């Protein structure tokens, strides 16, 4: 390794160590408190998050490998318009802010639990299983991104890097619970936003780049191997349908994604949930261009780099090439921050759903036992980390894994979830039929039809789910079937 790689590696390792220390301190502080720790304390941060901490946690949970390394990689194919993947998430957070208070007021901790309040046991179990499977995939995507960075920086075997990354995330998540995750996320957000933005300006002004003007001029005339202009500066190359699909994807996946809903449910009140969501949206949309510019640096300014096509390590390679060693370490630590924060959120979300939606009602016969539930939660985190590691070793594209995970967990439950909150004349069986049919439609769209027109699978899946829930409800009501009981909301 050269000096830049060694310095970057040291900073990344120090950052990982700091993250683990935060988890251990959070665990020790809670252990020293006189009051007994409940499972809600461990998994929901005692439902005490204010808008700023909540915004940071939302941003960190959503900004992972796909939002950093994935965007930089896709600049080759879509130019700067690859940033729409994250800009759309910002729009999604703002849209979801209008319903965010209802998550906190629903007196529930998980998406399947909210579903069960309206549609019963079958819907509860199906949603819990698909949501848990989706978080396995999402965790794998974050491990894949983290290991790719470490592999580029150090030359370590990808498998070794993936194992180290997984172990670090498991340790600080298991020991500290959600309070350690939210505390670490504040550090993560600073590294991701401020650190990467400052580094981007430094890299662009490297003498071998020559500033933004020189970079954009080189990019404007850049051609592919066939001599065709790549149009790499375009903000629309990804296509209007894809952009609409991204926005729809986030609007549908945020209300049905456990790592996001759990954060809303951990807010101290409905107002904090709404304001935190808006703040997270603004930060996400502003940040989106940063990894895209860094990816542009790699393809435009590294000789022969674009000739190899899309490179999954574009962001790391640009950083190593154009940033001073300390800055490179900060950028790469920021990427590690992004991926680890998303992975830890996925682990917490999986543990919460398994404990609340499977263990307590169906294994422990509805009996609450905080001490036992905390141990079960920790075991669930260990399992999801291990499965995520296996997925990371088998997968290759971060964004494709994440898109599959989003479709699996959201296409079916979204219609039932929204109607469960706001619609009155919906029946239980209609909710279950909607969840199953929407999930099936999304799977067919991805795996059989191969995502025609580039439209995200959640759009057709969601349309099918809405059609089914209203159609079946209308038919059942005409047959005298009673509507599902409405959810009772707390006045907070």
Give pLDDT tens digits for 235-289.
999 999 899 989 988 998 888 877 788 888 888 888 899 999 999 999 999 999 9
| Cα-based angle 349, 439, 85 (whole degrees, multiple of 5) | 65
pLDDT at 212 > cutoff 90:
yes
H-only helix segments in 411-427 = 413-422
CB 262 within 8 A of CB 109: yes
Closest CA to 60 of 348, 313, 292: 348
Give pLDDT tens digits for 89-108.
999 999 999 988 887 777 67
- Which pLDDT band, with edges at 50, 70 and 90, does 149 fall under? confident
In this prediction, residues 148-176 reach a mean pLDDT of 79
- DSSP assignment letter at 454: G
Give pLDDT tens digits for 4-13.
778 877 888 8
Cα–Cα distance between 462 and 484 in angstroms, integer? 20
In this prediction, residues 397-408 reach a mean pLDDT of 70
In this prediction, residues 172-189 reach a mean pLDDT of 70
The ranges of the chain annotated as CATH 1.20.1730.10 are 3-400
Cα within 13 Å of Cα(236), Cβ side: 1
Given the structure tokens 């130019």, which residue do they identify?
79
CB 184 within 8 A of CB 192: no
Give pLDDT tens digits for 55-92.
888 888 788 777 888 899 999 999 999 999 999 999 99
pLDDT at 177 > cutoff 70:
no
pLDDT at 39 > cutoff 60:
no
Quick count: other Cβ atoms within 10 Å of Cβ 303? 6
Mean pLDDT of the chain: 84
Burial of 240 (C-beta count, 10 Å sphere; 0-12/13-18/19+):
exposed
**Per-residue pLDDT, 179:** 65
| Cα-based angle 193, 218, 290 (whole degrees, multiple of 5) | 10
Looking at per-residue pLDDT, the higher value among 344 and 29 belongs to 344
Give pLDDT tens digits for 374-386.
888 889 889 988 9
- Which pLDDT band, with edges at 50, 70 and 90, does 34 fall under? very low
Tokens of 406: 């989003």
Closest CA to 351 of 389, 324, 317, 377: 377
pLDDT at 37 > cutoff 60:
no
**Per-residue pLDDT, 110:** 78
Tokens of 414: 């979204």
- CATH assignment, 3-400: 1.20.1730.10
In percent, how much of the chain has pLDDT > 70? 90
- Which pLDDT band, with edges at 50, 70 and 90, does 435 fall under? very high
pLDDT at 45 > cutoff 60:
no
Tokens of 473: 């409800």
């Amino acid at each position: 390794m050269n000096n830049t790689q060694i310095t970057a590696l040291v900073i990344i390792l120090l950052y990982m160590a700091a993250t683990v220390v935060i988890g251990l301190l959070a665990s020790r502080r809670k252990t020293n408190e006189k009051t007994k720790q409940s499972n809600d304390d461990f998994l929901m941060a005692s439902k005490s998050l204010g808008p700023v901490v909540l915004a940071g946690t939302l941003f960190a949970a959503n900004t992972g490998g796909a939002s950093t390394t994935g965007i930089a990689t896709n600049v080759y194919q879509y130019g700067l318009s690859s940033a729409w993947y994250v800009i759309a998430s910002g729009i999604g957070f703002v849209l979801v802010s209008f319903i965010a208070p209802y998550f906190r007021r629903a007196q529930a901790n998980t998406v399947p639990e909210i579903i069960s309040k309206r549609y019963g046991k079958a819907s509860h179990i199906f949603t819990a299983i698909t949501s848990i499977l989706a978080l396995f995939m999402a965790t794998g995507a974050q491990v894949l991104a983290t290991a790719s960075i470490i592999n580029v920086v150090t030359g370590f075997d990808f498998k070794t890097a993936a194992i180290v990354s997984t172990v670090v995330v498991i340790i600080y998540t298991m020991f500290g619970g959600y309070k350690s995750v939210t505390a670490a996320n504040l550090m993560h957000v600073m590294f991701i936003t401020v650190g990467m933005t400052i580094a981007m300006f430094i890299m662009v002004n490297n003498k071998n780049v020559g500033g933004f003007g020189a970079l954009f001029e080189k990019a404007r005339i850049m051609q592919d191997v066939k001599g065709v202009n790549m149009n790499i500066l375009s903000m629309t190359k990804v296509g209007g349908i894809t952009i609409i699909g991204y926005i729809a994807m986030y609007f549908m996946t945020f209300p049905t994604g456990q790592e996001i809903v759990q954060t809303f449910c951990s807010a101290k009140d409905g107002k904090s949930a709404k304001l935190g969501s808006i703040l997270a949206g603004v930060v996400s949309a502003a940040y989106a261009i940063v990894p895209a510019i860094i990816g542009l640096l790699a393809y435009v300014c590294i000789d022969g780099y674009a000739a190899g096509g899309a490179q999954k390590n574009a962001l790391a390679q640009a950083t190593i090439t154009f940033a001073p060693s300390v800055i490179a370490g900060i950028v790469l630590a920021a990427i590690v921050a992004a991926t680890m924060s998303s992975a830890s959120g996925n682990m917490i979300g999986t543990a919460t759903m398994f404990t609340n939606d499977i263990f307590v009602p169906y294994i422990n016969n509805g009996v609450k036992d905080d001490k036992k539930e905390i141990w079960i939660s920790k075991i669930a985190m260990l399992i999801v980390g291990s499965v995520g590691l296996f997925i990371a070793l088998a997968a290759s594209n971060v964004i494709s894994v994440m898109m599959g995970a989003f479709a699996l967990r959201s296409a079916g439950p979204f219609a039932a979830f929204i109607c469960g909150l706001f619609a009155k004349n919906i029946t239980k069986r209609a909710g279950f039929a909607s969840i199953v049919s929407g999930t099936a439609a999304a799977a067919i769209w991805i795996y059989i039809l191969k995502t025609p027109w580039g439209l995200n699978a959640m759009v057709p899946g969601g349309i099918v789910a809405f059609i089914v829930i209203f159609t079946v409800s209308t038919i059942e009501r005409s047959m005298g079937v009673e509507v599902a009981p409405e959810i009772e909301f707390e006045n907070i």
